[in-house]
Amino acid sequence: MEIPNLLDVLEARKTISPYMTRTPLCSYAGINGIVGTDVRLKHENHHPLGAFKVRGGINLLAHSTKEQLSQGFITASTGNHGQSVANACKLFGVRAVVVVPEGANHLKVEAMRNLGAAVVFKGNNFDEAKAHSELLAIEHGYRFIHAANEPLLIAGVGTAYLEVLEEFPDVEYIFVPLGGGSGVSSACIVAKSINPDIKVIAVQSEQAPAGYLSWKNGNLVEAPSNTIAEGLATQSGYELPQAIMRDYLDDFLLVKDEEIYAAIRILIEKAHTLAEGAGAAALAGALKVKDDIQGKKVAIVVSGGNITLDNLREVIT
């Protein structure tokens, strides 16, 4: 796996631009007041699929060989990555299979099926679903798409940060949620290539700390995942994102699930926007260190908005 660079991200933007539009980067007085500084929210929750992952799937499929397209694709996902693959496969007219854990977010499962993907339920968590998808790939000859260890996915996701830097060139901090790590690693590539002084901060639930522990220890670590934020619910660090983060990430924060719930409520009340758990995690991280970022210019990624009504009721009651 080659680490993608800024040229790869620029190429990805040319590739995916016919299929999607830029997402808003907005300032809200209420958010600025709570965080205590100049904040812009990057609304990746405004994609039709409700999450940033859509960028990566299109870029990967567009660069696939005819042989791979004829084989079809399989992946594992807690939801948003699976939607991205299903969407890209629909655009390119090829077969998609997505393996999800038992109890996966039913809105995301329904979206994948509506996009034409076959959905297979297996395991209690993402990593068990991934192991099963790898077996099915061997059995049926599908091209397996890893949710994080894919340079083309990372390059595609990185196009969001080109948009941030173009609209907010004097940004000083970028807070990004971390599950598998494609979003954080791509933010590192773009920000550090354009302005090495920009601080990139990863945020993960302390109830699913494998990514944090992998970054902290300098090697891949497994850890239990009990978070309510399925987009952050990985049990292992992953090689390619971690390699990028080791070189470029400035800091890594862990937040409690209760802090993520509070951030969802703040986004609803102060920014009139709906976020899932992973989508609110970056704001939770910024709030945790708000005393350290006073007077700074801050971008916060709202990575997704695919929250179920049951989960939303739990958050607001």
Catalytic residue at 303?
yes
Catalytic residue at 14?
no
State the Cα–Cα distance between residues 66 and 63, nearest whole angstrom.
10
Rounded to the nearest 5°, which phi and psi values hold at 77?
-160, 155
**% helix, strand, coil for the chain, step of 5:** 50, 15, 30
Rounded to the nearest 5°, which phi and psi values hold at 251?
-160, 160
Tokens standing for 208?
């699913």
Give the type of residue at 19.
Answer: Y
Instruction: Find the angle CA(200)-CA(108)-CA(231) to the nearest 5 degrees.
Output: 30
CB 259 within 8 A of CB 288: yes
Other beta carbons within 10 Å of 140: 12
Of the candidates 208, 204, 197, the residue with the CA atom closest to the CA atom of residue 250: 197
The catalytic position among 205, 225, 236, 303 is: 303
| DSSP H helices in the chain | 6-16, 29-35, 54-62, 66-71, 80-92, 106-114, 126-140, 151-157, 159-167, 182-194, 210-217, 239-248, 257-271, 277-288, 309-316
The catalytic position among 53, 130, 192, 288 is: 53
Of the candidates 198, 308, 215, 311, the residue with the CA atom closest to the CA atom of residue 254: 215
CB 23 within 8 A of CB 160: yes
Query: Which residues have a catalytic role annotated?
Result: 53, 303
